Structure 1
Amino acid sequence: MFEAEAIRLREILLAQGEISPLLNLGSSTGAFRVQTKPHIERELFAPLRNAGVAVFHSDLKQAEGVDLAGDILDPAVRTDLKKRGFRTLLIANMLEHVTDRAAVAAACEEIVGPGGLILATVPSSFPYHADPIDTGYRPTPKALAAGFQGSALLLAEEVDGRTYREEIAARGSTVWRELARTLGFVLIGFARPKSLRARLSRWRWYHRRYRVAIALVRVEAAIRRP
């Protein structure tokens, strides 16, 4: 999640009225949100909590900063989450990393139920980034919203981020240093093919802006999955 995305998500959520409690699905760890990418905490979750929104973070793995660990494709996990009465579900930059998007989307709808809100983001223009896989899913905002088959579209838009050139500068690095690192990955590419592919892919965005698709939907009739 880049900074402009975090800011826009905050704006969208706070404009919706009653959104508490909110489930942040695919949250990663507290260290990731606060230290690795501090703008996520600063621009999104801290303002939400200050506005009185109860935020719960969920991920596959149990770790510090993860409130609810589990796989939402597990019926028992979904049952537990449904009982908690979440009004809103945030699923940011996760759908490009799953093999069964339809099942995940349906599970999200089931968790919040009819009347619940789902705010989803997926990169629409972004380098390859395996976590642990990248399916190459890069939807338009409307295509992203259409994946939630039991829901009605409320908002669909794109947000621009940095270019890779700007990202290098923001990290305090240089083009020559990044080129040297890329060469290093080329030399060990046989051992770390995903890392090499990700490193090479970034250069295609040296002048192109990263872009993320955002879709806000309201669940009308959750589609049950086994």
Structure 2
Amino acid sequence: MRPSEAKAIGDILARMDRNEISPFLNLGSSTAAFRSTQKPHIDRYIFRPLAERGIQGRHADIKADEGVDIVGDIYDPATMKRIHEVAPKLVLCCNMFEHVTDREALARRLDEMLAPGGHLLVTVPYSYPIHYDPIDTYFRPSPDELTALFPNFTTVEAGIWPDTTYLHDLLAERGPGGTLKHMARSAAKLPMIWRGMHWWKGHFHRYLWLFRPYKVTAVLLRKG
């Protein structure tokens, strides 16, 4: 999740009444260290403000680690039982749909997590390079394509959020000199297609966004 995406999600949640979103479920949460140290903007813009409002929630992921409250596969009935015990009023599903082969199955599971009146906030890249985790199906939907996966929901908000460019990120992280060195090293690796297309695309596809902005599709839906 990018900083502008986290901030936009935080802004949406700030406009919602606490009774509409407490308790929440953060699906595909990763670890506490990921949310607060590796990607500190996630905690800063989303979860810290929720905690300050007294909003309760659970973090769910397939991997067991600190900060994961519900560990398991959502296609396992035992995992779904634990989610139903939380009875979330809001489910966050951010940047997951591009990493699954059966989008309809994931959408049905999200539907099953919520009672009528519950809210679902989903984000998916709209214009973004390949990023394997462990796969990337290159699903880059418009808001209409994303909401079509959820026939039992009505749209509250939907849009495409612009972000920075790859060049902007390089300059912010490395400065002008470091950026030039990084790009020179990348250019030297350009012929290394023998390492496999998976590696090659993962390394070079981002350069298509050197000057054009990343974009994220986001929808806030209400069930029933």
2: CA distance, partners of 1:29 / 1:37: 10
Identity rate, percent: 39
Q: Is the 8 A contact 1:162 1:210 kept in 2?
A: yes
Please say if 1:210 is aligned against 2:220: no
Distance verdict in 2 for CA 1:94–1:181, change over 3 Å: farther
What SS does structure 1 have at the residue aligned with 2:157? strand
2: CA distance, partners of 1:26 / 1:165: 28
Q: Is the 8 A contact 1:185 1:195 kept in 2?
A: no
Equivalent runs, 1:1-226 vs 2, <5 Å: 1-17=1-17, 18=19, 19-173=21-175, 174-183=178-187, 185-186=189-190, 189-191=193-195, 193-220=197-224
1: CA distance, partners of 2:88 / 2:165: 36
Query: How many residues were matched structurally?
Result: 220
Q: Is the 8 A contact 1:189 1:196 kept in 2?
A: yes
1: CA distance, partners of 2:30 / 2:100: 15
Distance verdict in 2 for CA 1:184–1:60, change over 3 Å: farther
What SS does structure 2 have at the residue aligned with 1:82? helix
Q: Which deviations, in whole Å up to 9, do the C-alpha atoms of 1:36-75 show, x marking residues without a partner? A: 1111111111111111111211111111121111111222
What SS does structure 2 have at the residue aligned with 1:209? coil
Unaligned ranges ≥5, structure 2 = none
User: Deviation at 1:168?
Assistant: 0.3
Q: Which has the higher helix share?
A: 2
Distance verdict in 2 for CA 1:195–1:170, change over 3 Å: farther
2: CA distance, partners of 1:185 / 1:132: 22
What SS does structure 2 have at the residue aligned with 1:162? coil
User: Deviation at 1:79?
Assistant: 2.1
Q: Which deviations, in whole Å up to 9, do the C-alpha atoms of 1:121-142 show, x marking residues without a partner? A: 0010000101000000001122
Scaled by the length of structure 1, what TM-score is found?
0.91
Scaled by the length of structure 2, what TM-score is found?
0.92
Q: Is the 8 A contact 2:70 2:79 kept in 1?
A: no
What SS does structure 1 have at the residue aligned with 2:199? helix
Query: Any runs of at least 4 consecutive aligned residues in structure 1 with deviations exceeding 3 A, and if so which?
Result: 183-193
What SS does structure 2 have at the residue aligned with 1:104? helix
1: CA distance, partners of 2:187 / 2:34: 27
Q: In terms of mean alpha carbon deviation, does 194-203 or 100-109 score higher? A: 194-203
Q: In terms of mean alpha carbon deviation, does 136-145 or 73-82 score higher? A: 73-82
